[in-house]
Structure 1
Amino acid sequence: MKQRLITGIVAGALFLGLCLLGGWWYHLLLTAMALIGYYEFVKMTGAPSLSGSAVFGYAGVLFFMLPWDLLGMTAPFSLERGIWLILLVFLLITVFTKNKMDIRSTAMLFTGIVYIGMGFSYMALTRASGDGYGLMWTFLLLSCIWGSDAGAYFVGRRFGKNKLWPAISPNKTVEGAVGGVIISMVISVIFAIIVPDLLTVGRALLIGLSCACLGQLGDLVQSAYKRVYGIKDSGSLLPGHGGILDRCDSWIIVFPFVHIVMLMPYY
């Protein structure tokens, strides 16, 4: 517990400090987290972490994370075209390696690129929001996610009786999940009260609901695939907490979702 607390304080202070600074500092941090997260994903699947396919995967993650605006450049092609080109290369890998890297392995590596690369890229996009309030939007989403996690944990411990999804995560309860949703929505409404010109109560409620539901589903997604591979943690970078993916599983689902369904009013 002591090790977990110390790691949480140090890692949290570093993350929040660079988030406050924004710009290159925060973007470089997110890029490093994305690459480490992809390394954890590759290692978990059993693929060699420095094979040609994995190295191309790291390059794919970097494609998502390149800060074209900060570089004063325009991306050479759209996100949609980039995803298709990455997919094409992985399909061709199965041919050129004569199935030493078969479709199942390359499909997993491709999934990891989109899952992790897009997740962290939308975190960067949120902080760099063109309306000048990127820090507020980032803190709103993170606060809702963290509030949902805390609410689910404490409400579940106190009132939890009905298992939410025992086949995937035996400790989660329906009562805890509902508690997390309520806490997240309360937090989002508080933000709406603080900045009413930027965020209506109605939109805040939808954002809070999305952060809680998608955040908890993001956690279940990682629990599901870790069970497939028979591992407890995705990595060991953060003593007492596991790896990057263990800590960011909710973030990399929530941030893209609220943008894609246009719950974020500013871009």
Structure 2
Amino acid sequence: MKTRVITAVVALIVFLPLLFLGGDYFKFTTFALGVMAMYEIVRMTFKETNIVILTLSSTVGALLFLHKDISSLMQYAIVYLVLIVMLATIVCTGHKIKIVEIGVIIFVTAYIFVGFYCLYMLRNFSLSHVAYLLLTIWFTDSFAYFGGMKFGKNKLSPKISPNKSIEGSVIGSLSSIVIAILFFNTTSIFSNLLIAIIVTLIVSVVGQFGDLIESAYKREYQVKDSSNLLPGHGGIFDRFDSVILSAPCLIILLNIF
């Protein structure tokens, strides 16, 4: 518990000032988080740190974060070259790297970096947007945990995360309505309370799916935590699994409503 608390305090001391500063500071922060998450995923996938694959994946992520500064033709050319080199590693390693592993890395690269880029974009909208998202995820997770402990009887997804219950999930999502009401009354994110509640419930549910997706990935590769980068908390992927799926969802919903 002591290690967990110390890690949380240190992480907040580092993360919160960069979040408040926003702009390029937060752009670099979210990109760095993406690279660290990919480091964890590469280690889980290949059972070791494959520097070549990690570098190629990070290059694609950098293109996303710098896409406004690079011509479209150059972006397409670099992405194509990266994909070719990734596939070439299959041959260069004598098929020790499998096609399905490269396919997974290509997909997860998009999943990770698009998620973190959308978190950066939300900060560009306003600090309130990021605070709203993080608090929605935190409320959902916390109340789902305690609600599941108290009332949980029916397993939500026993083969992926046997400790999670349907009752806990419902309680977690319903608790997020508090965040919807709070941010409707204190910010300009939402112009209508009903829309605020609908959007918040969707984001809450999508965030829980993000958590289950990450759990499924870890279970498939038989690891408990994505890494030990955050002692007592696991890894970056563990901490941001809900955020990277719900951030793009929130941007879409805000544009719809």
Q: TM-score, normalised by structure 2?
A: 0.89
Contact 1:48 1:54 in 2 (8 A): no
Paired AA for residue 118 in structure 2:
Y
- Listed one character per residue, the Cα deviations across residues 66-90 of structure 1 (whole Å, up to 9, x for unaligned) are 373xxxx355359899877755554
Give secondary structure in 1 for the equivalent of 2:72. coil
Instruction: Show the counterpart of 1:189.
Output: 181
Offset of residue 225 of structure 1: 1.2
Offset of residue 33 of structure 1: 0.8
Of 151-160 and 98-107, more deviation after overlay is shown by 98-107
Q: Does the C-alpha gap of structure 1 residues 159 and 103 become closer, same or farther in structure 2, counting only changes over 3 Å?
A: same
Offset of residue 43 of structure 1: 0.4
Offset of residue 53 of structure 1: 3.1
Offset of residue 59 of structure 1: 1.0
Is structure 2 residue 99 aligned with structure 1 residue 103? Answer: yes
Q: Does the C-alpha gap of structure 1 residues 87 and 210 become closer, same or farther in structure 2, counting only changes over 3 Å?
A: farther
- Listed one character per residue, the Cα deviations across residues 28-71 of structure 1 (whole Å, up to 9, x for unaligned) are 11111110100000000016524433321121122223373xxx
Offset of residue 92 of structure 1: 5.4
**Structural mapping, 1:103-252, within 5 Å:** 103-129=99-125, 134-195=126-187, 198-252=190-244
Give, in whole Å, the separation in 2 of the partners of 1:192 and 1:82.
43
Q: TM-score, normalised by structure 1?
A: 0.86
Contact 1:47 1:105 in 2 (8 A): no
Q: Does the C-alpha gap of structure 1 residues 191 and 84 become closer, same or farther in structure 2, counting only changes over 3 Å?
A: farther
Q: Could you tell me which of 241, 263, 266 is aligned with 2:253?
A: 263
Contact 2:128 2:187 in 1 (8 A): no
Q: Does the C-alpha gap of structure 1 residues 48 and 2 become closer, same or farther in structure 2, counting only changes over 3 Å?
A: closer
Cα RMSD (Å) of the superposition? 2.5
Contact 1:127 1:137 in 2 (8 A): yes
Offset of residue 212 of structure 1: 1.2
Compare the two structures and name the one with the higher helix fraction. 2
Instruction: Show the counterpart of 2:27.
Output: 27
Paired AA for residue 37 in structure 1:
A
Structure 2, unmatched stretches of 5+, are: none
Give secondary structure in 1 for the equivalent of 2:25. helix
Task: Give identity over the alignment, percent.
Answer: 37
Q: Does the C-alpha gap of structure 1 residues 136 and 123 become closer, same or farther in structure 2, counting only changes over 3 Å?
A: same
Of 171-180 and 49-58, more deviation after overlay is shown by 49-58
Q: Does the C-alpha gap of structure 1 residues 184 and 91 become closer, same or farther in structure 2, counting only changes over 3 Å?
A: same
Of 57-66 and 46-55, more deviation after overlay is shown by 46-55
Q: Does the C-alpha gap of structure 1 residues 254 and 79 become closer, same or farther in structure 2, counting only changes over 3 Å?
A: farther
Give, in whole Å, the separation in 2 of the partners of 1:50 and 1:101.
10
Contact 2:42 2:50 in 1 (8 A): no
Q: Does the C-alpha gap of structure 1 residues 159 and 32 become closer, same or farther in structure 2, counting only changes over 3 Å?
A: same
- Listed one character per residue, the Cα deviations across residues 164-189 of structure 1 (whole Å, up to 9, x for unaligned) are 11111111111110111011122112
Paired AA for residue 205 in structure 1:
I
Deviant stretches of 4+, over 6 Å: 78-85
Give, in whole Å, the separation in 2 of the partners of 1:175 and 1:79.
46
Paired AA for residue 219 in structure 2:
R
Give, in whole Å, the separation in 2 of the partners of 1:47 and 1:2.
30
Give, in whole Å, the separation in 2 of the partners of 1:67 and 1:80.
11
